Structure 1
Amino acid sequence: MAMEAEKFGSEGKLWSICKMPFWQSRNAPPPSSSSSSSSSSNLSSMHNAHQLSRIHESVERPTLYSPSTVSYVAKSLLPVRRRLRLDPPNKLFFPYEPGKQVKSAVGIKNTCKSLVAFKFQTTAPKSCYMRPPGGILAPGESLVATVFKFVEPPENNEKPVDQKSRVKFKIMSLKVKGEMDYVPELFDEQKDQVVVEQVLRVVFLDPERPTLALEKLRRQLAEAEAALESRKKPPEEAGPRIVGEGLVIDEWKERRERYLAQQQVEGVVDSV
């Protein structure tokens, strides 16, 4: 019995040794209550730190998006490629003449390799209008549009340089396929393809003070007026020239009639 007890005692010692961590010595004293509390607090702090790190990773981890959402975000970050080149690029210069309707001009050029439709919009359609209000430009084609605006009389004896207009003008563009006539409904039918090219703000110029901007405005207005007059002229028709009520002048027929008339005169003279 003593041998069995000794045997069990030795086995118990072996079992306790196996349960001890490898970094503890064989003869280490049993942990006190203070060391147990400190180890438990260390474990608690380690657990809290691990939880905080997981929360931090979940916050900083990028959210997974669908391919369509990623492409949309990428497109929104890219700069918008302009289809039209405007001159001036972001302003409309008007001569300051209170109580009168004045004119401005803006050059529009298609810089794409396809047909582009453009359209004007204004926040004051009752006092402003554009000519032409819209159209379709071929690749590389350009025109000068005229903008008309009524200038309100000044308030509180303000000077022309102090006058500020709240009216805004917007130019939109739309790519079109194939030859077609311009209709404003094109922009309503394809809203998702419409691009706002530029929002133009109004700048007043003193007509009595020569400036480069005023000189350029007058050149553009003269160019727009000349283009309008050329469009009003009827196209020249090829073929015989028509005079009066459908009289066709034919050079060969005219020569033949003169020759017959001369023969008749000569015949009358010979008979006499």
Structure 2
Amino acid sequence: MAIADENSPSDGKVWGLFKLPFRNSGNSHSTTSSHSTHQQQQSQSQSQSNSHVQGSNVHNNSSSSVSSVARSLLPTRRRLRLDPSNKLYFPYEPGKQVRSAIRIKNSSKSHVAFKFQTTAPKSCFMRPPGAILAPGESLIATVFKFVEPPENNEKPMDQKSKVKFKIMSLKVKGPMDYVPELFDEQKDQVAVEQILRVVFLDIERPSPALEKLNRQLAEAEAALEARKKPPEDTGPKIIGEGLVIDEWKERRERYLARQQVEGEVDSV
């Protein structure tokens, strides 16, 4: 087998045959490096994108939690307007059951149910204990309380009652019969309208609060008496033992009587 020397004319061909693979190898390495660099760039871009998405999600979650906290700190929108707004005035008469009054008005655009609660259910009760009010409708509720005699030589008007009353509200779909179970079935929708504290009034000393209380109590009594009256009877009148006076029957009797009179005249 002949071996080519340095001056052999095939030298360029032999080296040429070996140069081509090296050139291809260099290109392959360059291509591989370029591909690797591209992958690294894509990986970095993907990592940055993921970091941005995660940061965005964290920001959204943080904003959502902040919004929920902010909503919880906002005051509850009132459905009812109370008069008095945060107190129940009672005449101070130790050893007796006394009355207070409060006007409750639905100030929303929906039907609203309200309900009373007290920390002393054995010595206090409300009339009515609850009801459903149409938009703009109002009523005066009467609250009854037994006044305990003062203890330890305490001055009568210095006595502080620990009894509190709470009024809760619930939005309902429309007019319906009130039942207390409504508040148990929709606990999440129940709002505390107001917690009322007890204030005693000296009955021997006239005051605007005492005069207003007496007016509200009189109005509540008048409304109660009006509800007790039976509805007016607009149906047919009944006389005797269930005999109904019917207009058609009266007309028929008059017609027969007229026919009988005309028949007697003709016979004459």
TM-score (norm 1): 0.67
Secondary structure (helix, strand or coil) at the match of 2:206 reads: coil
Question: 2:150 aligned with 1:154, yes or no?
Answer: yes
Match of 1:207 among 184, 203, 207: 203
- State whether residues 88 and 196 of structure 2, in contact with CA within 8 Å, keep that contact through their aligned partners in structure 1: yes
Partner of 1:140: 136
CA 1:242/1:210 → structure 2, altered by over 3 Å: closer, same or farther?
A: farther
Query: Do the aligned partners of 2:106 and 2:134 also contact (CA within 8 Å) in 1?
Result: yes
Q: Does 1:232 align with 2:233?
A: no
Per-residue deviation, 1:157: 2.6
Matched residue of 2:72: which SS?
A: helix
Picking from 102, 105, 109, the partner of 1:109 is 105
Distance 2:151 2:105 in 1: 38
CA RMSD in angstroms comes to 2.9
Residues 260 and 81 of structure 1, relative CA distance in 2, 3 Å threshold: same
**Structure 2 regions of 5+ residues with no counterpart?**
1-57, 261-268
Q: Report matched runs for 1:180-191 at 5 Å.
A: 180-191=176-187
After superposition, give the CA deviation of every residue in 1:26-84 in whole Å (9 maximum; x if it has no partner): xxxxxxxxxxxxxxxxxxxxxxxxxxxxxxxxxxxx98635653332121232221100
State the 4+ residue runs in structure 1 displaced beyond 4 angstroms. 249-261
Deviation at 1:198, TM superposition (A): 0.4
Cα distance in structure 2, aligned partners of 1:127 and 1:222: 23
Aligned position for 1:50: none
Letter in 2 for 1:104: S
Post-superposition Cα deviations, 1:176-224, rounded to whole Å, max 9, x if no partner, equal 1123211111111111111100000000011121111111111111111
Over residues 109-143 of structure 1, what are the superposed CA-to-partner deviations in whole Å (9 max), with x where a residue is unaligned?
00000000000000000000000000100000000
Distance 1:209 1:241, change over 3 A: farther
CA–CA separation in structure 2 for the residues paired with 1:141 and 1:243? 40
Give the letter for the 2:104 counterpart: I
Say how many residue pairs are matched. 206
Q: 2:90 aligns with which of 94, 105, 109?
A: 94
Cα distance in structure 2, aligned partners of 1:255 and 1:204: 68
Alpha-carbon shift at residue 239 of structure 1 (Å): 2.6
TM-score, normalised via structure 2 length: 0.68
Note if contact 2:91-2:202 (Cα within 8 Å) is conserved in structure 1.
Answer: yes
Q: How far off is 1:233 after superposition?
A: 1.4
Structure 1: 5+ residue stretches without partners: 1-61, 265-272
Matched position secondary structure for 1:81: coil
Q: Which amino acid aligns with 1:132?
A: P
Identity among equivalent positions (%) equals 83
Pairing 1:175–2:200 present:
no
